[in-house]
Amino acid sequence: MPVITKIEVQKRNKERYNIFLDQGKGEEYAFSVDETVLIKYQLKKGIELDDLSITEILYKDDIQKAYHIAIQYLSHRMRSEGEVREHLLKKEKANSVIQEVIHRLTEQKYLNDREFSEAYVRTQINTTDKGPDVIKAELKNKKVEESIIDEALVEFPLEVQIEKIILIANKYVNKNSRDSSRIVKQKLEQQLVRKGYSYDVISIASEEMLTKKNIEEEMEALRYQGNKLYRKFSKLPEFECKQKIKQGLYNKGFSLEQIEEYLNKITIEVEEPF
């Protein structure tokens, strides 16, 4: 039966020990173990180890190595259970080893998907423009159970969603002041849906959003777009020029009434510098 002949600490990792055995052919390096495994199995010089004992020791050491990898991974930020599992799989750890590590981390409260999800939702609310649907998709991608995600999204109530939508809308309207109200509203709603807000919430918030500019602002946007079109088509006959401008402005979301008002004044406006 193999006998431990020497135990020495590793030079680069003082928490791991090299085990040397004599299996009848003289002393040879056999394996290395973590300090916790060394202590657990009371390994020391002169101890005999059968094959079953060695297999058990190496299995426990695999768990300890995987545990250290998980702890290092968790040291950067909170993680979901699914993220830790995926990380350990990439490190080629066996499923049985991973399960043992997950169990230990959960008992030690290093892993808690409910707390992780609540913290994740709060962080996204405070640091991004993401809506609930996008946040939910991200948590699903992190392998969090849907029931836990739904509970965590209570942190993102309707009134907070509306507040964020209004802030996004104000920025968007200011940035796109030269577009028609209809175009601004359409594009803004599309952007909000992409950000993860539902149509229902957008609809509720629309009454407070600044997507509809006042009459002066709308006419200013129309004049800007109309003058651009005039410069493009001014060499055409007058009727054709106005038809081109009319069609272009209508496609940009301005009402026929506003367009007619602009076209009635165009001969006066075009004499002025643009």
Q: Which residues in the chain show pLDDT less than 70? A: 206-216, 266-274
In a domain, 257, yes or no: yes
Same domain, 16 and 76: yes
Tokens 């601004």: give the residue: 184
* pLDDT tens readout for residues 25-56: 899 999 999 999 999 999 999 999 999 999 99
Residue 202 lies in a domain: yes
Length of the chain counted residue by residue? 274
Strand partners, 27: 22
pLDDT of residue 205: 74
Kindly state whether residues 234 and 223 are assigned to the same domain: yes
Where residue 38 sits, what CATH number does that domain have? Answer: 1.10.10.10
Residues 176 and 236 in one domain: no
Domain that holds residue 128: 114-155
Check residue 208 and give its pLDDT: 59
- Tell me whether residue 12 is in a domain: yes
Q: Find out whether 210 and 200 touch, Cβ atoms under 8 Å.
A: no
Question: Helix 199-206 and helix 158-175: axis angle, to 10°?
Answer: 70
pTM, two decimal places: 0.71
Do residues 65 and 102 share a domain? yes
Q: Is residue 194 part of a domain?
A: yes
Answer yes or no: is 274 within a domain.
no
Does one domain contain both 124 and 183?
no
Tokens representing 33 are 């173990």
CATH number, domain of 264, equals 1.10.10
Same domain flag for 42 and 103? yes
Residue 149 and residue 163 in one domain: no
Domain count of the fold of the chain:
4
Cα 240-242-244 angle, rounded to 5 deg: 70
Model pLDDT, residue 55? 96
Q: Quick one: how far is CA 17 from the chain centroid? A: 41
Place of tokens 């003058």: 227
